[in-house]
A = this chain, B = another copy of it.
């Protein structure tokens, strides 16, 4: 039995050794994709994610943290198995698999969302989203304009940089929390509904902000009118898509029900999710908002149960890739306290992390008229993810952020993402969850 425990780790180390031999410059130099290497990398990611996820679950932590940690270890700064460098042709492809993974995750969440109950918590979710976006944005921007910031990190346009810093702190990464809540089997609780609802609104707010600060970075003036139009467009997409979808989808899936070719229902549902995600992006909303809308729409069809059961195996394979990819982007060298060069990055990253935590945790108290597990909602809103990373990338490219500030923001994003799952779990263990309002 004890020997059996060593089989998996030993086999895994062997695999890693083989991978090192594989990743030779010859393969990278050729223009064509090295399919064999891609399959190998994908397999190692999946195996490492499951072993690490299992270990974390046995330690009483959510499996998703294990996947993030496995991603860090396999990532660019440690073992270098997961390709993250843009020069490596595979990094684009792994990123794409990761994006499909997060889309399927949001689609699954949408399928499990009861819209009527969501509306019943609509006012609460809006308050949480607004407070959770405004507080960290303001704190972040104020911090950056304050004399507390190391002079070396500051560059010419302090105001624009401050807006960027604030903006990176706003959008919640719903994926992480949703996985944690789903792993804990409390997706139907009031807390879960508030978090998911607020996070979706948050994402929309974040994307509007992105449009504005990206324009600011180019030096063009932006009017309140432009902001209004962008916001209306993003919210409008979600409302129109779901409204139209509720009318059209049952007809389409009624026809599909009469088709008999193998796999037609799952393929139709999957294609539907992809289409609406692509459409959402085209309309100025976010792909993940589209995938979520797709899930909500299909939750009203008659074949809902079958779709949910059949999309699960597909999600099992794709979703971990997303979490491993996020982990892989973290550079552990930023944690080296003995290197004076990283000190200011650590300090600024630490302050941004604190602002990120406080800014979202207070949002748990934004709904005084309802009783629920406030710390759980606050910590659940904490993880920043894709949208924050997109902000940071744009700021760096536009010259509004320095390399050091960019690294500090990454530190904040990864920190909130890693810290949220155990904190949510802890709050759940202490105060449990609340049933959503009925009627």
Is B96's CB under 8 angstroms from A254's CB?
no
Within 8 A of B (CB), among A7-43: 7-8, 11, 15, 22, 32-33, 35-40, 42-43
A262 sits at the interface (CB 8 A): yes
Does A304 belong to the interface (CB within 8 Å)? Answer: no
Copies in the complex: 2
State which of B39, B275, B320 has its C-beta within 8 Å of the C-beta of A267.
B320
Contact of A316 among B99, B267, B275 (CB under 8 A): B267
In the bound complex, what is the Cα–Cα distance between A431 and B8 (angstroms)? 50
With A7-B251, A278-B40 as known contacts, state yes or no: A99 contacts B35, CB within 8 Å: yes
Q: Is A252 an interface residue, CB under 8 A from the partner? A: yes
Q: How distant is A276 from chain B, measured CB to nearest CB, in Å? A: 9
Q: Mark A373-416, 1 if CB is under 8 A from B, else 0.
A: 00000000000000000000000000000000000000000000
Q: Is the CB of A274 within 8 A of B8?
A: no
B287–A39 CB distance below 8 A: yes
Given A50-B268, A183-B262, A259-B54, CB of A287 within 8 Å of CB of B35: yes
Please name the residue on chain B nearest to A40 by beta carbon: B278
The interface centre, meaning the residue of A42, A50, A251 with most chain B CB atoms within 10 A of its CB, is A50
User: Are B42 and A274 closer than 8 Å at their CB atoms?
Assistant: yes
- A8–B183 CA distance with the chains assembled, in angstroms: 37
**By the criterion CB–CB under 8 Å, are A266 and B317 in contact?**
yes
Q: A313 near B263 (CB under 8 angstroms)?
A: yes
Chain B residues near A298 (CB-CB < 8 A): none
Query: Would B264 and A54 count as touching, CB distance under 8 A?
Result: yes
Q: A57-B260, A262-B316, A313-B310 known; A8 and B255 CB under 8 Å?
A: yes
Q: Give the contacts of A239-256 with B (CB-CB under 8 A).
A: 251-252, 254-255
Judge whether A186 is part of the interface by a CB distance below 8 angstroms: no
Looking at the assembled complex, report how far the CB atom of A311 sits from the nearest CB atom of chain B, in whole angstroms: 7
Once the chains are docked, how many angstroms separate the CA of A294 from the CA of B261? Answer: 27
Residues of B within 8 A of A103 (CB): 39
Q: Is the CB of A255 within 8 A of B7?
A: yes
**A275→B274 CA distance, assembly (Å):** 28
Using Cβ atoms and an 8 Å threshold, which residues of chain B touch A281? Answer: 35-36
Q: Are A36 and B278 in contact (CB under 8 A)?
A: yes
Q: Is residue A53 within 8 Å, beta carbon to beta carbon, of the partner chain?
A: yes
CB closest residue in chain B, given A183: B262
| Residues of B contacting A8 in the complex (Cβ-Cβ under 8 angstroms) | 252, 255
Which chain B positions have C-beta within 8 A of A53? Answer: 261
Considering only residues 81-125 of chain A, those with a C-beta below 8 Å from chain B are: 92-93, 95-96, 99-100, 103
Residue A282 at the chain B interface, CB threshold 8 Å: yes
Q: For A37, give the chain B residue with the smallest CB separation.
A: B278
Please measure, in the bound complex, the distance between the C-alpha atom of A40 and the C-alpha atom of B33, giving whole angstroms: 22
A7 CB to closest chain B CB (Å) equals 6
Provide the residues of chain B in CB contact with A316, threshold 8 Å: 262-263, 266-267, 310
Contact B42 A267 (CB under 8 A): no
Using A36-B282, A54-B260, A255-B7 as known contacts, say yes or no to A271 and B43 having CB atoms under 8 A apart: yes
Complexed CA–CA distance, A312 and B317 (Å): 13
A314 at the interface (CB under 8 A from B): yes
A179 to chain B, nearest CB (A): 9
Query: Which B residues are in CB contact (< 8 Å) with A43?
Result: 271-272, 274-275, 278
List the 8 closest A-B pairs by CB distance, nearest first.
A263-B316, A43-B271, A43-B274, A39-B278, A39-B274, A46-B271, A310-B313, A36-B281
Chain A residues at the B interface, C-beta cutoff of 8 Å: 4-5, 7-8, 11, 15, 22, 32-33, 35-40, 42-44, 46-47, 49-50, 53-54, 57, 63, 66, 92-93, 95-96, 99-100, 103, 183, 251-252, 254-255, 259-264, 266-268, 270-272, 274-275, 277-278, 281-282, 287, 310-317, 320
Other than A63-B261, A311-B313, give 8 A-B pairs with Cβ distance below 8 A: A36-B282, A38-B96, A46-B271, A49-B267, A50-B263, A50-B264, A54-B264, A267-B317
